Structure 1
Amino acid sequence: MDLNILIWIHNHLVFSGLNPFFVFITNFGDHGIFGFFLSFLLMIKKETRLTGVIMLAALLLSVFFVNLTLKPLVARHRPFTFYDIDLILPKPNDFSFPSGHSSSVFAYTWAYFITRKNNWRWGLLVFAILVAYSRLYLFVHYPTDVLAGIAIGILCAYLSRWLVEKFKDKPWMVRFLTY
């Protein structure tokens, strides 16, 4: 069923004029680089430092759980190995489940979303949704890979907030957060 949904998306929602946009979006989400950059940027100012720390922790948890643990453990092959399709980006070499792009982008986005109450969070959420959808659009993940990635990313955001809250009264963390 997963492959059938993906084929339906490919047959009905993929348009050559949108290909460069979705390649750009998925590449922008690569390796969590934007999330790392944004986290460090937020850590510069004292007022947003806590958010930056929580975002960075969420991103690191996501990388650990998804890329270093679940992907090798589950070892699900990507959809293009079972369905002949011309990919418009280089073939990823790692496994499919869960989506690392979806997990990482939702980890830092949701961490921002639950710690900052401004309009930027809505823009980040739209960006996260676009990155997750791009993985389906480009035929490199199954829908369940993306949904699992989103769920894991959101869980990592809550876990990172809990961890940072638990340790924020420790002297080393107080010094960092108030520096």
Structure 2
Amino acid sequence: MEKFFEWEYRFMMFLQNSIRGPLQNKVMWCITSLENAGFLSIAACLALLLQPKWRRVGEAATVSMILEFLVVNLLLKNWVARVRPYHLLEDLILLVQEPADYSFPSGHTGAAFAVASVMFLGMPHSIGVPALIVASLIGFSRIYLGVHFPTDVLGGVVIGCAAGFVAWKLTGGKLR
């Protein structure tokens, strides 16, 4: 199984040794900080709930965040108990404060994709696509900063999108 994950180690060391730089580090820190404690996702839910035209989307986005939180933070992180990459890769330099929980799946990524996927399903693509792009940047920032393995982020994407889809259907949203 260790052979399967070897590509993650190589990719993370490539990012550190070939892509990281002072400007990129600041940009990635800012991007990841947007989703600290779910801030951007919660703000998006509140903004949508306050606008009558987008209230149903806001309801679905809120439900998606709750579902994502339950699955990621209360179930999978503790059940899988995957160690963070900076604990396993001796040469990897962590660029943010050390998180207190486990690595799999990425909660930042899951929350961002839970809300972005609902926005993609319920709003014009001129809003939904940029929301998915921002969620992708948040996920990438988690790898770049050394906090998550790529498969942690991929898990967050899958769970976030699934939570978004389920929430959209539960709240009566229709697919186009």
Same fold per TM (> 0.5)?
Answer: yes
Matches within 5 A, 1:7-156: 7-84=13-90, 85-156=92-163
Measure, in 2, the Cα distance between the counterparts of 1:12 and 1:136: 14
Matched AA of 1:152: I
Deviations 1:17-45 (A, max 9, x none): 21111111101111212111111111112
Unaligned runs of 5+ in 2: 1-5
Pick one of 5, 9, 12 that aligns with 1:6: 12
What's the Cα RMSD here? Answer: 1.3
Matched AA of 1:147: L
- Asked if 1 retains the 8 angstrom alpha-carbon contact of 2:65 and 2:114, the reply is yes
Deviations 1:71-109 (A, max 9, x none): 000000000001133322111111000111111100000
| Percent of aligned positions that are identical | 30
Measure, in 2, the Cα distance between the counterparts of 1:38 and 1:17: 27
TM-score normalised by L of structure 1: 0.88
Q: Which has the larger radius of gyration?
A: 1
Measure, in 2, the Cα distance between the counterparts of 1:153 and 1:165: 18
Unaligned runs of 5+ in 1: 167-179
Q: Corresponding residue for 1:163? A: 170
Q: Corresponding residue for 2:3? A: none
Q: How many residue pairs align between the two structures? A: 166
